[in-house]
Amino acid sequence: MVSAMWSILNPVKKQIYLAIFLAGLAVFANLLVLASLAWSVQALLSHPEQMPYALLSIALLSTVCAYVLRITAFNQSHYASFRLENHLRKQLAEHLAKVPLGYVENMGSGSLAKILMQDVKALHIFVADSTPLYARAYVSPVLTFMLLWWLDWRLSLATVAVLCLGLWLVFNAFSSSQALMQQYNQASENVSKAVVEYVQAMPVVRSFSTAEKSFERYQHALNRYKQVVLHWYRRTGILARLAQLIVSPLPTLTTLLWLGVWLLNQESLNLHHYLMVLLISAGMTESLLPLSSLKHLIGKTEMSVKRIQEVLAEPILPMTTQPKYPQDNSVVFDQVDFRYQQHSPLVLQQVSFTLKPNGITAIVGASGAGKSTVAKLIPRFWDVTSGSIRIGGVDVRHLSQETLMQQVAFVLQDNFLFSGSIADNIRLGMPNVSEQEIMQAAKAAQAHSFIMQLPQAYATPVGERGAFLSGGQRQRITIARAILQNKPILILDEATAFTDPNNEIALAQALSALIKGKTVLMIAHRLNSICTADQILVFEKGYLKEQGQHQDLLAQHGIYAHLWQQQQQVENWLITGENHG
């Protein structure tokens, strides 16, 4: 996993190495401060009448150097982390623009936003903070050991022995906590998910008075988090505290004091060297501390790296290098089979039909029959498993993405409005259209009059998901957008519920302005609204079972006739409140 982490850091690797190198030099300069101070003490002891100016100057100069090097290393690691953050966000955004739209839809905007923001931020923090730690954790012990060895090999070995004990404890404390660390990360992620769900679902949850249930899930996630953290502390607490004690200078100094005095008594140790060893070795064990911070930082970053790499590993939608252009706005499904995942069952089987240019086709069927899947295959949310879909005689896989997007417009039930003004939302993707054209489209979409009643008319800002507009108003704004875009093939998802008849009439008028002269595929939920369609496709369990106009299909007494009968009954119940069964 650590190698996966380094591979994601590749674009800023050189700068990271530079930061580590500079931080390493800073460690060296620090050591030089200690060494020159130790020499100064030695010089003073041998010649108390003479101030060791040269040595003190070296100490002072090294202090300044260490400071400057540390700051420069810090700057480099921070520049690298900002560059990496930008690079990764750009790379992720570019990749997401190339993967199938269905993948983006499946992942959900919340999860993707989290990866783009929080996970990339986690890497930023890792790069900014870990580079100086790497240098301190690895360079400092080695250099200190070399200096100590040069002064007195026996005392240096004693220091290393204490250091090894500390290391062993630190690694034990953390290796036993690897699994716990994963549990911890999972639990903390569940808490974030539960919080988001709790907040997002608040309007629904409250109105159905199930707030307590949703809160319970949040509470449950929090309890689990608490459990994991407590368990972790209990399991690793004693070891970690012991490790902390051992890597403090006290045990090293005690060992050296005892050993040094013994060696002095044996007259096999020079007092001056002994003083220098005492001064320098105190810092040796402390240099271990960054190791534990480093391990913790790596553990925290690994999950973010995994999520980022999963997104980047998603295969892109293959694009043709020799794009063709459609001859007309017909759509043909030719023996289409489709499954969502490689080994999942087929959700569409041997589906063949034609949407004639400028005709209206309705697609009906029970929930899960495959209606939305058919609609989403046209603009290549996914590619067919076998068979083909042709627009104007050309396989959609042979159209450039731009041409495909120019051909097909989607008007869905849940219409997303971007933050910006109403006018911005209507002109989306077409910066050059005039105010006049925007207004004309809004008029045709029956949106002009309610827009004019808003505080700043067309300049009124729209909330994050257009929260202050009603569902019907939002839908009419997206219809105005679609009218302005004037794409030849339209896919409409009929709204399932309307409470306001005025809105329904307005919407019907808006839709008829939109669909004029276009090839329309309408996912219909209420059969009453499609009696006049040129063609009705009836789906059942992924198969196209019936096909024709309303009257013909009724005459067949098949699935459509049955659905029709059922809906008539439901409407009767709604009106009379009785079941005529």
Ligand X SMILES: Nc1ncnc2c1ncn2[C@@H]1O[C@H](COP(=O)(O)OP(=O)(O)OP(=O)(O)O)[C@@H](O)[C@H]1O
Residues 139-168 within binding reach of ligand X (CB under 6 A)? none
In angstroms, what is the minimal distance from the CB of 560 to ligand X? 15
Q: Is 476 in the site for ligand X (CB under 6 A)?
A: no
Structure token digits, residue 380: 């290549």
In angstroms, what is the minimal distance from the CB of 520 to ligand X? 17
* Beta-carbon contacts of residue 48 (< 8 Å; ≥ 6 apart): none
In angstroms, what is the minimal distance from the CB of 479 to ligand X? 20
Q: Considering beta carbons, is residue 147 or 523 the nearer one to ligand X?
A: 523
Q: Considering beta carbons, is residue 341 or 432 the nearer one to ligand X?
A: 341
What is the 8-class DSSP label of residue 326?
-
Q: Is 177 in the site for ligand X (CB under 6 A)?
A: no
Give the whole-angstrom CA distance, residue 329 versus residue 489. 6
Of the candidate spans 65-73, 192-200, 362-370, 528-536, the one that interacts with ligand X by CB under 6 A turns out to be 362-370
Of the candidate spans 66-74, 181-189, 240-248, 370-378, the one that interacts with ligand X by CB under 6 A turns out to be 370-378
CA distances to 98, 106, 115, 431, 469 from 102, rounded to whole Å, are 11, 6, 18, 27, 27
Q: Is 369 in the site for ligand X (CB under 6 A)?
A: yes
Q: Is 420 in the site for ligand X (CB under 6 A)?
A: no
In angstroms, what is the minimal distance from the CB of 408 to ligand X? 17
In angstroms, what is the minimal distance from the CB of 214 to ligand X? 24
Q: Considering beta carbons, is residue 294 or 559 the nearer one to ligand X?
A: 559
Among 372, 400, 401, 549, binds ligand X (CB under 6 A): 372
Contact call for residues 291 and 139 (beta carbons, < 8 A):
no
Of the candidate spans 4-12, 85-93, 367-375, 573-581, the one that interacts with ligand X by CB under 6 A turns out to be 367-375
Q: Is 567 in the site for ligand X (CB under 6 A)?
A: no
Q: Is 340 in the site for ligand X (CB under 6 A)?
A: yes
Nearest CA among 497, 478, 333 for reference residue 411 = 478
Give the whole-angstrom CA distance, residue 133 versus residue 32. 19
Residues 91-130 within binding reach of ligand X (CB under 6 A)? 106
Q: Is 371 in the site for ligand X (CB under 6 A)?
A: yes
Structure token digits, residue 305: 């790296």
In angstroms, what is the minimal distance from the CB of 103 to ligand X? 9
CA distances to 99, 165, 414 from 503, rounded to whole Å, are 37, 76, 16
In angstroms, what is the minimal distance from the CB of 529 to ligand X? 15
Q: How many CA atoms within 13 Å lie on the side-chain side of 406?
A: 10
Of the candidate spans 275-283, 301-309, 363-371, 553-561, the one that interacts with ligand X by CB under 6 A turns out to be 363-371
Give the whole-angstrom CA distance, residue 138 versus residue 27. 10
Among 278, 297, 347, 412, binds ligand X (CB under 6 A): 347
Determine the size of the site formed for ligand X (CB under 6 A): 11
**162: burial class by Cβ within 10 Å (0-12, 13-18, 19+)?**
buried
Q: Give the length of the chain.
A: 581
Q: Considering beta carbons, is residue 260 or 365 the nearer one to ligand X?
A: 365
Q: Is 367 in the site for ligand X (CB under 6 A)?
A: yes
Contact call for residues 33 and 66 (beta carbons, < 8 A):
yes
Structure token digits, residue 491: 């896919």
Give the whole-angstrom CA distance, residue 92 versus residue 87. 9
Provide DSSP, 53-69: HHHHHHHHHHHHHHHHH
Q: Is 53 in the site for ligand X (CB under 6 A)?
A: no
Of the candidate spans 13-21, 365-373, 497-505, 513-521, the one that interacts with ligand X by CB under 6 A turns out to be 365-373
β-bridge mates for residue 364, sequence order:
538
* Beta-carbon contacts of residue 308 (< 8 Å; ≥ 6 apart): 8, 88, 92, 115, 119, 120, 123
Contact call for residues 354 and 372 (beta carbons, < 8 A):
no
Structure token digits, residue 206: 């409250």
Q: Considering beta carbons, is residue 218 or 539 the nearer one to ligand X?
A: 539
In angstroms, what is the minimal distance from the CB of 111 to ligand X? 14
Of the candidate spans 20-28, 364-372, 443-451, 498-506, the one that interacts with ligand X by CB under 6 A turns out to be 364-372
Neighbours of 298 (CB within 10 A): 16
Q: Is 530 in the site for ligand X (CB under 6 A)?
A: no
Q: Is 368 in the site for ligand X (CB under 6 A)?
A: yes
In angstroms, what is the minimal distance from the CB of 363 to ligand X? 8
In angstroms, what is the minimal distance from the CB of 362 to ligand X? 13
Q: CA angle, 560 as apex, 557 and 561 as ends, to 5°?
A: 40
Residues near ligand X (CB under 6 A) are 106, 340, 347, 365, 367-373
